[in-house]
Amino acid sequence: MKFGNKKPEKIPMYVYYIIAGIIIILLNMLVVPAVQERSVQKTDYSTFIQSVEKGEVTKATVEENYIYYEIGSEDSDDAVLCKTVKMDDPDLVNRLLDADVTMDEVLPESPSIFMTLLLSYVVPIVIFIFIGRWLSKKMMASMGGGPGGTMSFGKSNAKVYVKSSTGIKFSDVAGEDEAKELLTEIVDYLHNPHKYTEIGASMPKGALLVGPPGTGKTLLAKAVAGEAEVPFFSISGSEFVEMFVGMGAAKVRDLFKQANEKAPCIVFIDEIDTIGKKRDGAGFTGGNDEREQTLNQLLTEMDGFDGSKGVVILAATNRPDSLDPALLRPGRFDRRIPVELPDIQGREEILKVHAKKIKIADTVRFDEIAKAAAGASGAELANIVNEAALRAVRDGRKFATQADFEESIEVVIAGYQKKNRVLSNKEKLIVSYHEIGHALVAAKQTESAPVHKITIIPRTSGALGYTMQVDEQEHYLMTKEELENKIATFTGGRAAEELIFHSITTGASNDIEQATKIARAMISRYGMSDDFDMVAMETVSNQYLGGDSSLACSFETQTLLDKKVVDLVRTQHEKALKILQDNIGKLHELAKYLYEHETITGEEFMKILEAPSEIPGVSLTKE
């Protein structure tokens, strides 16, 4: 039984079933009737003697208990086979000789019920079983578990990439120069270990890629596989999570066994936080047991293998702070490779890498697009390029234009334009004033951060209108004033509604949320209030996934903190109201323009804002 070792060919499975079916039908058609034709007629001894005397018998075999004989012409097919009981007859031989009967073997074997059953039922079943076992082995082999039995649950499904089978190189990863540099060193070590061992340096056993989702962690790991010409085992943390307790640990064991055999090689565990979460004292659910066992096995294996053999373990996560500290200690994942959101330069490069795959107009300015897509991750940028191409196709063009890119930024960031959702005129007017309120407050406070585009075309994401602000250059540090201005800008929308319509709507919920977030952070985390000085009231975990904050102060302080937040927002809200009141002429003018055009670009906005007011005196009516 060497079936399992055969290289599986690409023959569809139903072919095997058809072949098995044909075999059964053939057996039934050919063999079974042939056996039945030779079925034996039972006769008594006297009939036999009579037949012999009449000269009808042509052939006979005398066996221990029976005599088999044929009646009819010797060569014809319709000779009838008969059987009779052997009697104690001393004359038998003489009689047969007299009648000229050939004393020959009549039947090669006596056909029996047993044979019939065997041929028509047992043989096909056996064939079926063989084919079934063969197929199941083939399946196990193609699943990556190698030729194992049907019960090999504990095998890891780690995919092995050899050499350039991923086809991804470092050049496919744009930006992220720091991460690439650190990873290049690992690739270099795998290629020339002597260079390092000569000095006595040893490579870190493991490197952990950390960063927000979509920044290219998985992509980088694949690029390492493409560059390092060594086997590359890739497995996702969730693949260790199995139905049965202990299976995850078995998989880890198996993975490292395979890796040790193939050294030098790279093992990549994606989304390691699935198994590497902090172990807590008392687990709430039974599932923790399994996870803990898997993690323990991973820790043991990482300690156990010999680093000098050339097995490097890469892992990726966007929740580094939830990882078990034991995983991060020296000797395990002791090298951290940050993979951050791209800066403007990085964004431009990523856009260019992906734009190579589509046809674009010569006039496309990537620096402009990169500027407008502030905060976008690599995955979002890839998506923006694809959306631009899709939009070009939709409009029946052969290449994507700048406008396609600008629109696709909004699609990716704010959702599709909703063509069939119509605002009533009154709603449209309110939204126009609301959005201009934001923009005007922003423009009046900070001369340097103009709006990029304002639109009141509803988006699928639910936003009715939206103001896109683009900073001229990126900020890493924000001053207290800048943050306050931001809060004022967020309150500007609601302020305009109050001022013009003397009523407020539900449209400002997102603004309120954002303003609160900033105000709270200013007081509880950035130390920007006199009352608390530089004391952290809140700590933030999960920084790459939006950040969850947890309070760390007494109940009284908490109450005071809440009050301070409200005061801060209120002050800014009043400031926004004042700005709008002072510029109410421009507010009307701009809102009217937006109401009519539905979209207004930053340039148009600034032009109207800087032009002498068309309706003189209006701005003074309130005072």
* Positions marked active-site: 435
CB-CB neighbours of 395 under 10 Å: 11
Say if CB 265 and CB 230 are below 8 A apart: yes
Contact partner, 493, from Zn ion, Mg ion, ligand ADP, none, Cβ < 5-8 Å per class? Zn ion
What, of Zn ion, ligand ADP, Mg ion, none, does residue 204 touch, CB below 5 to 8 Å by kind? none
Cβ closest to ligand ADP, residue 174 vs residue 518? 174
275 binds, among ligand ADP, Mg ion, Zn ion, none (CB under 5 to 8 A by kind): none
Taking the C-alpha atoms of residue 181 and residue 186, their distance in angstroms, rounded to an integer, is 9
Cα 481 from Cα 478, distance rounded (Å): 8
> Taking CB within 5 to 8 Å according to partner kind, which of ligand ADP, Zn ion, Mg ion, none is near residue 382?
ligand ADP
Q: Give the helix, strand, coil percentages of the chain, each rounded to 5.
A: 55, 15, 35
Is the separation of the CB atoms in 255 and 267 below 8 Å?
A: yes
**What is the closest distance, in whole angstroms, from the C-beta atom of residue 367 to ligand ADP in the complex?**
17
Question: Is the Cβ of residue 83 or residue 434 nearer to Zn ion in the bound state?
Answer: 434
**Closer to Zn ion by Cβ: residue 267 or 431:** 431
Cβ contacts of 351 within 8 Å, gap of 6 or more: 366, 369, 370, 373, 381, 384, 385
Cβ–Cβ under 8 Å, residues 548 and 540: yes
- Using DSSP's 3-state secondary structure scheme, residue 59 falls into strand
Q: Which is nearer to ligand ADP, 382 or 590 (CB)?
A: 382
Question: Would you tell me how many other CB atoms lie within 10 Å of the CB of residue 52?
Answer: 20
Q: Which of 148, 326, 157, 332 is nearest to 254 (CA)?
A: 157
Closer of 218 and 377 to Mg ion (Cβ): 218
The partner in contact with residue 467, picked from Zn ion, ligand ADP, Mg ion, none with C-beta cut-offs of 5 to 8 angstroms by kind, is none
Judged by beta carbon, residue 96 or residue 315, the one nearer ligand ADP is: 315
> Closest CB to Mg ion belongs to which residue?
218
C-beta separation of 593 from 430 below 8 A: no
Cβ atoms of 342 and 176 closer than 8 Å: yes
Give 206 or 458: the residue with its C-beta nearer to Mg ion.
206
What is the smallest separation between the CB atom of 230 and ligand ADP, expressed in angstroms?
21
Compute the distance between CA of residue 480 and CA of residue 407 in angstroms, rounded to an integer.
Answer: 33
CA atoms within 13 A on the CB side of 449: 19
Which regions of 345-476 does DSSP assign to beta strands (E)? Answer: 451-455, 466-469
Q: How far is the CB of 390 from Zn ion (least distance, A)?
A: 29
Binding mask 481-520 for Zn ion (x = CB under 5 A): ------------x-----------------x---------
Question: Angle at Cα 406 formed by Cα 404 and Cα 412, nearest 5°?
Answer: 95
Residue 253: count other Cβ atoms within 10 Å of its Cβ. Answer: 17
> Considering the rule CB under 5 A, would residue 524 count as an interface residue with Mg ion?
no
Residues that bind ligand ADP (CB under 6 A): 173-176, 213-219, 316, 350, 353, 378-379, 382
Name which of Mg ion, ligand ADP, Zn ion, none residue 579 binds, using a CB cut-off of 5 to 8 Å depending on partner kind.
Answer: none
Of Mg ion, ligand ADP, Zn ion, none, which one sits near residue 146, judging by CB under 5 to 8 A according to partner kind? none
Comparing CB distances to Zn ion, the nearer of 7 and 426 is 426
Q: Which of 213, 139, 148 is nearest to 379 (CA)?
A: 213
SS3 category, 601 = strand
In the complex, what is the shortest distance from the CB of residue 463 to Zn ion, in angstroms, rounded to a whole number?
8
Binding mask 260-289 for Zn ion (x = CB under 5 A): ------------------------------
Q: Residue 458: which of ligand ADP, Mg ion, Zn ion, none does it interact with, CB under 5 to 8 A by kind?
A: none
CB atoms within 10 A of CB 184: 15
Is residue 318 near Mg ion by the rule CB under 5 A?
A: no
Cβ of residue 27: shortest distance to ligand ADP, in angstroms? Answer: 55
What secondary structure does DSSP assign to 496-528, as a single string? HHHHHHSS--GGGHHHHHHHHHHHHHHHHTS--
Q: Which does 511 bind (CB under 5 to 8 A by kind): ligand ADP, Mg ion, Zn ion, none?
A: Zn ion
Instruction: Count residues near Zn ion (CB under 5 A).
Output: 2
- Nearest approach, Cβ of residue 293 and ligand ADP (Å): 26
Which tokens go with 456? Answer: 């009141």
Minimum distance, C-beta of residue 222 to ligand ADP, in the bound complex (Å): 8
In which residue are the tokens 């058609």 written? 29
Which residues, including other chains, have CB under 8 Å from residue 545's CB and lie 6 or more apart? Answer: 212, 213, 318, 319
Instruction: Pick the closer one to Mg ion by CB: 218 or 524.
Output: 218
Question: Which of 155, 153, 55, 68 is closest to 103 using CA atoms?
Answer: 68
Nearer to ligand ADP, 175 or 276 (CB): 175
Indicate which of Mg ion, ligand ADP, Zn ion, none lies near residue 410 (CB less than 5 to 8 Å, by partner kind).
none
CB of 342 to ligand ADP, least distance (A): 6
d(CA 508, CA 515): 10
Q: Which conformational region is residue 546 in: left (phi greater than 0), alpha (psi within -120 to 50 degrees), or beta?
A: left
CB of 384 vs Mg ion, minimal distance in Å: 19
User: What residues from 204 to 263 belong to the interface with Mg ion (CB under 5 A)?
Assistant: 218
Minimum distance of Zn ion from residue 511's CB (angstroms)? 4
Which residues of the chain form contacts with Mg ion (CB under 5 A)? 218
Which residues of the chain form contacts with Zn ion (CB under 5 A)? 493, 511
